[in-house]
Each structure stands twice: as structure tokens, then as C-alpha cells.
Structure 1
Amino acid sequence: MKASTPKSSHAHRLLVQIESLQDGFRKLSKAATLTDLADKFATVLNRVFPNTETRVFHRSDHANQWQSLQLGGSDTGSLLPPNDVTYTSGFLDKASRSMCAVQNLVDRSYVGLVLTQQTGGTKYADDDVVSLRLFVQLFDNAYQSLLHRRKEKELVFALNHRVLQLNSLIDTGIEVSKLYQKTSPHQLALERAASLTNASKGLVRVAGKKGEKEETFFPVGERTRKVENPSHCITSTFKFGGKTYTFKLFEKESRHGILPFEETDQLLLDALTRQVHASLVNRYLHQQELEKQKMEREISVAAGIQQRILPEALPVIDGYDIAGINIPSKLVGGDYFDCIALPDGRYVLVMADVAGKGMPAALLVSSLHAYLSAYLETPMSLAELAGRLNKVICRTSTADKFITAFVAVLTPGTGEIEAVNAGHNPVYWLKNDATIQEIKASGVPFGMLDLDLPYTNEQIILSRGERVLLYTDGIPEATSEQNQLYESTVPLQEFLIRHKSYSADAFIKGLIDDIKKFTGDAPQSDDITALYLVRR
């Protein structure tokens, strides 16, 4: 067998080094920690440099001491340069039969290698130093790969954490927005915020305008102490309903101790406080809607009562034609009309208008109807009836509420009408000669003054073919889309004369149709009420 020549031996070593470089990178790229990387690297070098003890050292920067990355073995770290000297190349230490190398890594830390020949081993040559420098570069590449994988894991963890925070933010938004739950929305948001940001403590302070405040703590019952470092506290504030809501989180916890809060923690807290704000607004609007629905139900009941107060059908009076209408501008109105039959065969005609609209006006209409019905059962003059109504309305209404009214008593056989006018519009009496006379019979509105002011009555005789129109100011003051009044365009007296041949029902229908045509799409500004009497 032929002995190997130095040239062939060198080629063999070079082949081993190339294979070790290729195989080494595959092994080193699977290292999970720096210690694992050092152990795998030592194995690769021991293949290239047989009969060698390999030691791997690391230091975080040039000011720190070298630390061994392997357990056991001899202490050869003293062969590496001191901490105030750095090397980026290898060198031989012939006195100790060792070969060393130092490499500045990507994170500005350092790795140091010490290879020591065992007894009987081949002496290191300059070529070995060159090879070692190549393998040190291999370590540097593998270390960069380790850092990248570690960074990827951190990014994946951070991403998963953000996804968790986002999902929890959505869940919290759903929980906070629930209208019916025992836990207050700001307490729930505080608990979730502390959990998602890893805050050790938190509080919500609700302060009123007068200095009163309510505080909620997390954990429950544990008050927060003063935090000296501003970065260890984040705050978010909003105002609602005259109160200021302040959310605070303290001391972000981690495996490494207390850390400053991150920007995403502040964004998360702001998002949660916005959800609480929106929840409080929604609860307020929901409560307002419930109250509105309750009021609408009450108004609906009042409207039903008022409709029963107004006559469903007017009485049939022998020798007369009568018709009336009431169109409230709201669900309930402040106008009132009626034709009431008395036991002696006479009839009371009533037209009234309460100052204002809506529920207060409707209540006063009900009072007027009740008192009028009661007083009509007792014999008294029309002027005395008006005086009593004035006093009782004055005592049962507020200072800004009063009733204008026209009350008349019709004797069907003679056509006599006796009337009092309590501050109401004049009633139109259309005579057979096509002239109109106003029945004024003036007096103060009911409920305006609690004084014994006299009411004067007026008497007329309604002949056959003559007519009387009672109405409220909602008719002459009906407003068009151009903000014009009906009376200024279509004087009511002229309308009455033009339609003097109409029956009572036809007249009322024609009047309402004409008003609607005039107002168009303009909203109805006041109640519209009319009562029309014709003596045939």
C-alpha cells in the first residue's frame, strides 16, 4: 500500500473542511439557544480538528468578562484577549499549543473560541488559523439565523397577543353595549383593560361638577398607590352627562418585572373608554326612548279620553241642521266643542280654545267639560254659569293657562240664541240678506283672572234660512307653505257668504278641503275646530 503524501493529506483535510462547512450550517441553523449553538459548533470543529478540546465563550460587549457556553472542560478563557481588546481574526498560542479566534457578532456581542491540542495531536499550522476563521464566520451566520428565528417567534407571539387583544376588545364592546347587566360598563372595561395590558392595578374615577366622585378599583377593594414613574401609568378620559370619567392603569407586569406601557396599551385603553362612552350614550338614548314610549302611551290614552269628551255625533234638532269637526294639530288638542241637550228642550252650544297645545291643554279641556256638565244640571243664568267656570278654571290651572270660550243657549222653537263670549273669536251670524253680524258678548277668558268680573250676554233671533258659525283661531290662522294666513287670502266671512246654500255637513267639508288646499304640505300649526248651525 502506498503511503499518503503531504499533498494528498492536505487535500483530504480540505475536503473534510468543505463537508463540515456544509453539514455544519445545516446543524447550526437548528440550534434553539446560544448554548445549544455552542455545543453543536464544538462538535463540528472537533470533526475538522481531531484530538482537540474546543471551548466556546461569549461576552455581551467588550467591557464584560468572557463567559463559557459549555459545562465542564478546562478553563481556557484566559487565553482570549482581555475585555479592553477586541480581535476579529484568529491567532496561534504556541506556548499552550492552542489556537484562538474572536468574532464580533451582529448584536455587538462577541464569541471567543479556544482550540487546545490533546497529547499526540498534530500541531496547528497557519492554514488551521485560516480554516478556523472560516468556521467563525459560519458561527456568525448561524447566530444571525438564531436571532432571526427568535425575533420571528417574538413577532408571532406579539401578533397572537394583538389578535387576542383585538378579539377581547370586540367581546368587551359587545358586553359593554348590553343594556341590561349587573356590572357597570366602566367596571367591566377596567377589568378587561387591566387583563389585556397586564396592568397590576387600575381605577375608574367618576367626578361630578360639584366635586363629588365615585371610584372603582381593580383588583376590587385594592386602592392604588402613587406611581413615581410616569411611564408606569396610562390614562384615558371622557366627559358625559356632566361627569368626567377617568381610567388609569398602573405598572405593566412581565416575567422580567415592571415594564413601561407600550403605545398599543394606550390605544387599547382609549378604545375601551370609547366603548364605555358609546355604551353610556346608548343607555341614555334607550332610557329616553322608553320614557318617550311611556309618554306616547299616556298621550294615546289621553287622546282616547278626549275623543270620548268630544261628541261622536251631534244631536238631531227639529228644524235645524248642525255639523261640527275637530282636527287636533297633535295627538291630543286644546280645542273643544259640543252641543248639549238640556232637559227643558233647549240646547247648549259650546266652542272653546285652551291657550297652548298638547297634554296640558287636553287636561284643561277635560276639566272644562266636567265642570260644564256639572253646572248645567243646576238652574242658573248664562252669565252666572260663565262666572263659575271662570273661578273654577282659575283655581285648577296654572297662571299661563286659560280658556277662551263661546257658550250659547238655543231655544229651537223661537230661534232665540242667548250667548256669552269669554275672550273667544266673534261668532258669525249670516242673515237672509247676505250680511254678517258678529256675536261678540265680550268677557275675560276663563281662568285668566280670579275676580268677580261680570259677563254680559247677548241675544239674537235666528230666522229660518239663517246660519251661525262657531270656530277657533286655527282656521283663520292656518298657514300656507309661503307662510301666509288663510284669513288674509280667503276671508272666512266671504267663504261663509259664497257657500250659504250648503247644508251643514257640506259646508264643514268644503271649509276643511279649502283649508287643506291652501296650506298644502305645510304642517298644521294649531287645532282646527268648527260648529255650523242652520235653521231650516
Structure 2
Amino acid sequence: MDDFEKREHDKQALIKGEVQDDVDRKLLELSALFEISQLLNSSLNLTSIVDNILLSPMGRMMINKGIFLLHRGDDQYEIFTLKGLARDLIGKKIALSELPLKPFLIEELKDSQYPWLSFFTQFDIKLFVPIMLRNDVLGLVAFGKKLIGKNYIESEIEFLSSIANIAATSIQNGIVFEELRSVNARLDKKIQELNTLFDIGKELNATLESGKIARLLSYGLMGEMMLNKFVIFVRRHDTVQTLEKRSFPNMDIGETSLELLFKITQPYTLEDAETNKLNSELSGHDVMAVVPMLSQDRTKGILLLGQRISKKTYTKEELDFLYTLGNQAMISLENAWLFEDSLERKRLEEELLVARNIQIGLLPEFFPDLETFEVYGVNISSKQVGGDYFDVIKVDAENYIVAIADVSGKGIPASLLMSNVQASLLALSTEVKAFDQLVAKVNNIIHANTTSDKFITFFGGILNIKDRTFTYVNAGHNPPYWVKADRSLQTLDKGGLLLGLMPDVPYEFETIRLQPNEKIVMFTDGVTEAMNEKEEQFEEPRLEKLLQTHSGLSAKECTEFIAQAVKDFEGNAPQSDDITVVVIKTLK
């Protein structure tokens, strides 16, 4: 073979080798695309699909960063997920105007024409691959640089484009699946709300007692909205009165503003409302939403809602739910005002007598004689026995549990639920050392043994007579007052949700150290919500003034003084709820 033939032979061999290498590469790419296609088609979960779109090429090409942006309409794109970057970018929306509809390198575009490029250049993004289905852009995949330092070559861009084409249908299916799941979730929530409205509606229709209706409405607000800050105003006999108030101690709305409130016929949030004098005043009181309560197409009540425990805003669906709940409650209230009579009260007398005997049996017969502390409590029962409870339980020589609670409802069911609370405290007092864990266990016991409409507001703590400390938890109860030696007041509000609402709820605790002549004053809503003949409530400011001006009283004197002050305030008006007060005082 001469030299020419040898060169030709070598040339042909080289070409065949290159062709074979190209064929081998194509086969590998096809194999990889087949595997990726199988992965993408094996799931309807959009997150799983997108993760595979990012991770497969990033692993194959050793790419350091990846971003998937989901098209949200018009020029808006949302960062759905990412790899190799801070996760706080997820959810960020970016306007991508004049987006090229084919793969492109960022260096090919000019910042002046595409102002959004600067966002991606700060994260060293190099390549973009649109994901399209039938000329519609579903999303955009963006990749950083390769770890080996080389630029993207045409075959790699084609490979990534092929992945995008394969993924388009899977992404579309995933989006549809997510939308269906979202719709199902909303439907489930609607069904839950309807069931709740049905259950509460049955309770509302089953009673002609306005106090119980108010509590049912309150527990509906707290249970469904995770809300413990609200005020309920109602109009009765042309007079606006406060039906229920939680954590709004200084809510003082002028008469003109009240009249404007009762002209509102649709619920709204302050965030979305127009700026006017009324809404400015409400915002100054930290009101987040306003919900009217209608009866016969007239506004007869108003719900003013504060911030939720979860800090979430109120959605339109939630406002609609509250609007329906409020209207149901308003109709029941009007029926209660019309039909409450002596016959109904007489029918309840026997049951209430039994309930009172149970309640009396649960209250402590005597109080411990301590060298450094005085503990004393009093309960004045109303004719309609409520669910008030308090106790002092000796744990050991140095520690005592002091607790107060208010059970939803009245009569025997409320008294039996009180006995449940006491039995749980007694059983767990020597077993569980951390008081927040003890309260969590009591909550689980109450939740497991009661129906969904039964709740308990609870406050209690461990009094260590040696260290002079009080470690407490507040589970949705009226915050007690810590009356300090300088007569200043501090509310004790660390804790969590009321008992029985849901299982496995964590509770916060706080430990305070008591100085000589300081007090902790616990009470139920029968004190602050006691009403006189003018249908005015006793309220927190009046109680605060009493505590500050009579700070030198002993624990026994203080409880009896508060109870008598409430009775004097009520005058000839009937007592509508139990009056319960418990005081701890440091002696020396």
C-alpha cells in the first residue's frame, strides 16, 4: 500500500470513528432522555416533576445551580423551586417581558432590552430554556455555570431543549393536578365550614339563653379562626352593648363610629378598605376585619376581629364563613331575647342544683397554711351554674399547683367536664414535672373525651414557696394580673390555645419571681363581664383600678373585696355567670 492509499485509509478510519462517537453520544442522550421521560411520567406531583427536570441535567453536566420558574400569566413568573441557591427566593415573582421562546445564553442578550437579566446575573445564571406546549409558555428553566468551567456547547443546549420538550406535557399534567388538588382542598374546607355551621347552628337553635349563644359564637371564632382577640357589639332595645370581648381591654369606640358600624352590611378587612375616619379609628384599636351580623336584612350586631394567633390575614372565604356564622348567631340572639322566660328557668332549676353540688364538691374545702404565701379563692355561683373551677393542689413540700378554669356550657355537662379537669390535674401533678407538658397532656385528655363544641379556658401554674417563683401557662383564659410592689400591673398571657380545641398543641410557659407584698389575681369572665341594670359591663379597667388602689389587702380580703365590688356593681340586675376569684400573695 503506497503512502496515498495509506493516508486515505487513515482518513476514512478517522471519519468512521468520529461518526461512531457521534452515534454513541446520541444513543447515550436518547437513553438518558428515555430515563428522564419515564421519571417525569411516573408522577403527577409538580414538585417531583420539576426536581427531576433540574437534577437530571445538573448531575449529568455538573451544573452548580438551577432555577425553575412557573408561568403565572401575562409576563409574571414565579420561582417554584431551585437548587444551589437560598430557598427564601422560592415564591418570588418576576416580570419577564419579551422573553425569547427558544433556549438562550444570558450573554447573548442586552441588559437594556431585558431589564430582568440583572436579577439572574447576580446569581451567575448562564443558560435559559423555555418550556412550551402548543405555543404556550409553561415555565422556564435557568442553569448556572458548569463546575468544570467549560461553556455550554450546542449539543448540550439541544439536549436540555429535548428535556424541556419531553417535560412540557408532564408539567401541564402536574399543573392541572395541583389545581385539582387546590380545588379539592377548598371544597374540603367548604364542607368543613358547612359542617361547623351546621353543628353550631344546631347548638344555637337548641338554646334560648343569650349568654350561651354568645359563648358559642366566641368559641366558633376562636376554634375556626384561631382567634383570641375580638369584640362583639349588638343592638338591643336601641342600645348598643358589648356582648363579648376578648383581649381588647381598652376598646372605646365613639357613639358616632358605632352608628356608622351598624350601617355596614358586608364584611371587609381593614387592609382592603378605603381610608376614612371610621376605619382609621378601628385601625388604631388594632382591628383587622369587620363582620356585620344581620337579621331581617338589618345590621343588628358587629364583629370586630383582631390579629389571629397564626398572624394570617382573613381571606374572602373566611369572611363569608364568619358572615354566615354571625347572621346565624344574631337570629338566635333575637329569638333568645324574645323567648327567655320563667318557665325555661324553672325547668333548669333541678339540673342546675345537681350541677352546683358537683361544682361545690370540686372546689377546695380549705387552703394551705404557708409561711411565705397566702392563697385564697372564692366562687359565687349564679342561678344558672356555669363551668367555673379553681383548685390548689399540693405537689410536694415546696410546690403547689394553683389553677382556675371556665368550662363552656352550663349545668351537669359543664360540671362533669370540670371534674375531668380536676382529675387530670390530680393524676398528672406528681408524674409530669414541666407544667407546660402537664397542660399539654390535660389538653389531650379533654380533647379525647369531649365533643367538638366543648372547650375550656384555663390558667394555672406551679407555685414554688422556697424560690418564690410561679411558673404558669395561660390556655385562652382571661389574663390574670401580677400586682407588683410598686402597684404596677402586668398581665400573664403566655400559653396557647384553650383546652380541648385540638390535640398535641404546644404551650408556652413563663416563670416569674414574686417579691414581698406582691399578688397574682386570677378571675373568670364572670367578674369582668358582670352587668348592671344599665347593661354595662364591669370590665378590666374597673378591676385594674381596684387592684391598684387596694394593693395592701390580704389574699382573702382581696378575693372577697373583688367579689363584693362586682355584686355592688350589678345592683338589682341578675347575676348571669359564676364569679370566681383566686389570689396568691407573698407575705415576706
TM-score range, shorter chain: 0.3 to 0.5
TM-score, reference length from structure 1: 0.44
Larger radius of gyration: 1
